[in-house]
Amino acid sequence: MAGRFTLGTMNTGSTAASTGASLDIGIGGMTCASCVARVERALKKVPGVQDATVNLATESARIAYAPSEQIEARLRRAVRDAGYEPRAADAAIMADEDSPWSGFAPVATGLLLSAPLVLPMLGDLFGKHWMLPALWQCLLATPVQFILGARFYRAGWHALKGLSGNMDLLVSIGTTAGWALSMWLWLSADTGTMVHLYFESSAIVVSLVLLGKWLEGRAKRQTTAAIRALHSLRPDVAHLIGVDGEVDVPMAEVLVGDRLVVKPGERFAADGVLLEGQTQVDESMLTGEPLPVGKETGAALTGGSINGEGRVVMRVRAVGSETVLAHIIRLVEDAQAAKAPIQRMVDQVSAVFVPVVLLIALVTLLAWWLTGSPFELALIRAVAVLVIACPCALGLATPAAIMTGTGVAARHGILIKDAQALELAHKVDVVAFDKTGTLTLGRPKLVALKLAAGSVENEILTLAASLQGGSEHPLARAVVAAAQERQLKLVAPDNMRSVPGRGSEGEVGVRSFLIGSLRWMHELQVDVSAMGPVAAELQAQGATVSAIVERTTEGLTLRALMAFGDEPKPGAKEALAALRARGIRTVMVSGDNRGAAEAMARRLGLRPEQGEVMAEVLPGEKLARVLALKTGGHIVAMVGDGVNDAPALAAADVGMAMGNGTDVAMHAAGITLMRGDPMLVAAALDISDRTVAKIRQNLFWAFAYNAAGIPLAALGFLNPVLAGAAMAMSSVSVMSNALLLKRWKPAGH
């Protein structure tokens, strides 16, 4: 795979950009934050490119561009001309590792060749003089410098050609200066004179930098474990029921509509519906739900989940990139490829970092030399400055934490779509919840049918269910379900029309009806006064009340009231309490009348008297309510699951969509909660808090390391060997600190 394409609306942060295309390209040879800035500049110069984001941790670039011919070839050429190697988009993530010691051979060789050079330094501590002859020192150090260290020269030369700098340039200049100084001192010394050479400094610095990059690479592979784990959920083979019976076929040949056999313990090969049998399904890798879920005929099945004890037959409904698993992988990859806003500061620093370090090294050299120190000592001080200042840790601080945080969140059913949502979520101080399907089960039942004078119960229920038969609204489904329980015969309506946020109207036979909220009836000036007390009593009990009105020659006449009841989701009350314990204000937004909304709110532990309930909110008004909550500098999260929640989810600082909701809602939200569990809201805020804390810790130590290390090296308190070791360990410490996030679990797990 050369690159990974996505056509459609580009997402930058939480706001949509212009329609275009995006392409992911893997990039080999990057070593530090300066490399990232250089590749981004090269990509942005390609005609048609709108934006380019390079991630050091994933060793990849995401490019947004206006569609044009041969764009991928031009982008790959730009990467190569910048001095780096274009690769497959997921080459770094999906690279196979046969052994934990893979790639260690050059490091081991460098350490073995350097050990005899370092041994005399240890001997000096015990009064022993084990110094090797100059020729032996040269023979040991030169292969390390120019064979094992060739990668630094290649990358540094490309950086110079591009009039920029990077870690490799600093290492190559510093170690070459030490090696060249040693050669000059040796060859210019009188015969038989014992001179102090610095071959060991150059050799051990190269070896330690190689060791640091190897350890860094191992840590990077751990941060991408979440992506590899998701990819591994895809089985290679499916058992297809064809014309000749059951045959094994590659997954690439499975089509929508195929019937597949899934044996006990196997993974479902694609999304589909259960045709035959019953079983328990382990969906933990997709939803974070630890307990198996029972499935019977007609149940939805998700590709990648594990079949339990039953042999079942399924019909395929989605394959390839259209499956739920593919969607999850895309979301996690998008989040890990994105650049957090906090990274902009790092990019600005890294753009000038290497030139400034080169200047400091030159000033160090001249200052020591001109104040009377030997030239070789001045040069060694300058070499120490060059070596300790390598900005590897700076480039890894943010992406390493984001990759680990999003990966562990995905494992527990929290899909974070973009880095901006991750960075903002920890600042949230107001969370607005949609009611139906988010805080409640979203499966309301018809609990009462109150008739006006002259109406017949089964007749009215048949008419109402016939009108609502084609609607997906939860209340409409409840009416149809009630009619089916009574085995009433429904008829197809005519001229059906939905009125968003109010209800629907249409004709059944020769009669015309409207079904909708009491608010709509008041707008239409329908006289409901005769049943007003009944409606008020039902609302006081927490029911949602709808009216059935017939359009006659005399006008609009009330025929009946329908009362619907819903139940709070398990854990919803506890979830709201957990958010309140974090000092977060919670608000419920509902289209219900105030009585029903407040009754449900009290069952959930909300306090209507403190403004924690927004009732009678039409779908189009949710956006305005979210914007109103944002006034005064509040950071607002919106949690919803329906199509009508999408504008509000997009307008909120952080949108959270329930995974049991609609695709539109999940597309508009920055975070998707796969289990539809309200407890995951607090968990999402918690992992955001911990991830941002890791980013700040990493950036602090990366900056502090350079701020302390460069002056110490310039003042002569650090020799190149210690500087090389410190530089190598700085990158490893940043990666290791980020990997501590892998131990995170949501509260209660």
| Active-site residue set | 434
* Pairing mode of beta strands 430-434, 636-640: parallel
Per DSSP, 46 falls in state S
3 state DSSP class of 440? strand
3 state DSSP class of 612? coil
CB of 95 within 8 A of CB of 66? no
CB burial of 184-199 (b: ≥16 within 10 Å; e: otherwise) equals ebbeeeeeeeeeebbb
SS3 content of the chain, % helix, strand, coil (to 5): 50, 20, 30
* Pairing mode of beta strands 585-589, 613-614: parallel
* Structure-token pair, residue 270: 């694609």
Position 299: which residue type?
A
- With vertex at residue 158, the alpha carbon angle to CA 155 and CA 160, rounded to the nearest 5 degrees, is 110
Q: Which of 310, 322, 246 is CA-nearest to residue 282?
A: 310
DSSP code per residue over 149-180: THHHHHHHHHHHHTT---HHHHHHHHHHHHHH
The pair phi, psi for residue 496, each rounded to 5°, is -70, 140
* Structure-token pair, residue 529: 């006064």
Give the number of residues written for the chain: 749
Q: Kindly report the number of other CB atoms within 10 A of residue 491's CB atom.
A: 13
CB of 622 within 8 A of CB of 586? no
CA distances to 150, 538, 638 from 609, rounded to whole Å, are 71, 21, 21
Strands (E), 569-719: 585-589, 613-614, 636-640, 654-658, 671-673
Distance CA 601, CA 465 (A): 29
Per DSSP, 146 falls in state I
Strands (E), 58-151: 60-65, 85-87
Q: Which of 677, 487, 482, 498 is CA-nearest to residue 564?
A: 482
Q: What are the residues whose beta carbons fall under 8 Å from the beta carbon of 540, sequence distance 6 or more?
A: 595, 599
Q: Kindly report the number of other CB atoms within 10 A of residue 343's CB atom.
A: 24
